Amino acid sequence: MDFKDNTEEAAFRTEVRDFINNELRKEVPEGGAEDLERGMYRGAFERLKGVRQKLAGRGWIAPAWPKEYGGAGLSVKQQFIMNEEFAENRVPPVGGMGVSMIGPTLIVHGNEAQKQEHLGRILSGEVQWCQGFSEPGSGSDLASLQTRAVRDGDDFVINGQKIWTSGAQYAHWMFMMARTDPDAPKHKGISYFMLDMKSPGVTVRPLTNLANQNMFNEVFFEDVRVPAKNLVGELNRGWYIGTTTLDFERSSIGSAVGIRLQLDGLVKYAKEHEGDGTSRTGQLESLKGELVDRYIEANVARLMSYRVVTMQAAGMIPNHEASMTKLFASELNQRIARTGVRVLGLYGQLYGDDAPMKGRYESSYMTSLASTIAGGTSEIQRNIIATRGLGLPRD
């Protein structure tokens, strides 16, 4: 692994940094990506219009997309450099699931009419998307999903339920999987659809998490008619298209950098408030050692991201390596949240703009509980590492 940029990569990194400093600095909302992530479904898309307009001019809203579809056609390493520099400067991503998941899926599996209808509106920000995969009884075992889609003339009629659907209350469209052949083996009877969220029979019920936020939802389908033209790819081949969608999730470098920036802010606060009653650092010397541990772990997370992108740049497909990165980062998020609350002491229980550090650690402590579930549970990641990485038997 070479940690240094070559001449071309160094020039691109300079280009990205200059663009951020000259074009984006005034457009990034106060608090940057960290605060927007905590309230990303409360008007954040509106606050990012300026960022979107600047990025659109360079094709950087969808840097991985081919140029013919409005992207920048960047290499794996260029995408990594861009994501890393944006994370370092707290520039939030603006494309959402449309850019990172359904857009690339349509480029690979969609027909020309579907590409013409949806790709441009994704890039413009006109349409926001949500993902309809998980169900109450089908989380980690996604292929056991039971939502049904039955062909009726020019439509499919969908009945069932999805859950943990992030941003569904604000989304215009959903990409989803439904069972179209109940008699087929579970991986072979699933199809992949695009669904207009304003269709009659769609009900969205927000779920409130521990941090009193409505980031995800239940979605119910009652005789929802979806035009057959919104079937993506072949009938009953949706499972394989769905795995393509999951393959397009972002590099974890943004998460690794974000973790370190959190620690920078926490250490800065602790130094500024040591001994004044709003930080426990003066009373509990052991917390300094705990912060050092978190910094070491943050660097480990970053190196894991470097390993994954090095494999991708070499044309390899990370498998258990990606699971290792996800597992380590999500469990580290929980440890950092606990450390933050301990540093703040009783003030770590407060939330809101008037609380120390705007109550970030009260919120992150509550929301971090889900980080080892979302995107694949820690148990699933460990199984992948064990079987595919270590070659251990499944039984």
pLDDT at residue 33 is higher than 60: no
Give CA–CA dist 247/71, Å, rounded. 18
- Cβ pair 164, 153 in contact under 8 A: no
The label of the residue with tokens 């003339």 reads 153
Closest CA to 86 of 51, 124, 43: 51
Mean pLDDT, residues 354-362: 85
Question: What are 256's two structure tokens?
Answer: 């690794």
Give CA–CA dist 167/139, Å, rounded. 18
State the chain's mean pLDDT as an integer.
87
Give CA–CA dist 245/232, Å, rounded. 12
Question: What are 11's two structure tokens?
Answer: 């020039």
pLDDT at residue 3 is higher than 90: no
pLDDT at residue 2 is higher than 50: yes
pLDDT of residue 289: 87
Question: What are 301's two structure tokens?
Answer: 């997370």
pLDDT of residue 40: 45
pLDDT of residue 243: 81
Sign of CA dihedral 131, 163, 203, 37: negative
pLDDT of residue 278: 66
pLDDT band, residue 56 (cuts 50/70/90): confident
At 260 the three-state DSSP class reads: helix
Please name the fold of domain 251-389.
Butyryl-CoA Dehydrogenase, subunit A; domain 3 (1.20.140)
Mean pLDDT, residues 197-204: 98
Please name the fold of domain 129-245.
Butyryl-CoA Dehydrogenase, subunit A; domain 2 (2.40.110)
Stretch among 31-35, 38-42, 371-375 having the lowest mean pLDDT: 38-42
pLDDT at residue 182 is higher than 90: yes
Strand runs labelled E in the chain = 129-132, 148-152, 155-162, 173-179, 190-196, 202-207, 216-227, 231-232
The residues carrying an active-site annotation are 249
The label of the residue with tokens 């993506």 reads 232
pLDDT of residue 30: 62
pTM: 0.84
pLDDT of residue 267: 86
Question: What are 338's two structure tokens?
Answer: 């606990």
The label of the residue with tokens 């998020």 reads 333
Question: What are 247's two structure tokens?
Answer: 């393959």
CA 230 to chain centre: 24
Q: Which CATH superfamily is domain 7-94 in?
A: Acyl-CoA dehydrogenase/oxidase, N-terminal domain (1.10.540.10)
Mean pLDDT, residues 286-311: 90
pLDDT at residue 276 is higher than 50: yes
Q: What is the largest CA-CA distance in the chain?
A: 72
Give me the percent of the chain exceeding a pLDDT of 90.
45
pLDDT band, residue 39 (cuts 50/70/90): very low
Q: How many CA atoms lie within 13 A of 133 on its CB side?
A: 22
DSSP string, 273-322: HTTSSS-STTT-THHHHHHHHHHHHHHHHHHHHHHHHHHHHTT---SHHH
Stretch among 4-8, 12-16, 19-23, 207-211 having the lowest mean pLDDT: 207-211
Cβ-proximal residues to 161 (8 Å cutoff; 6+ apart), any chain? 135, 136, 147, 218, 219, 220, 221
Q: What is the DSSP letter of 317?
A: -
Closest CA to 132 of 97, 107, 157, 99: 97
Question: What are 293's two structure tokens?
Answer: 């541990």
Domain ranges of the chain: 7-94, 129-245, 251-389
Alpha carbon separation from 177 to 202, 240, 338 (Å, rounded): 15, 11, 36
pLDDT of residue 280: 67
Torsion of CA 35, 40, 46, 52, to 10 degrees: 80
Sign of CA dihedral 374, 384, 131, 222: negative
pLDDT of residue 255: 79
Stretch among 100-109, 186-195, 349-358 having the lowest mean pLDDT: 349-358
pLDDT of residue 27: 77
Query: Which residue type sits at 387?
Result: T
pLDDT one-digit tens code per residue, 201-238 = 999 999 988 878 888 899 999 999 999 999 999 999 99
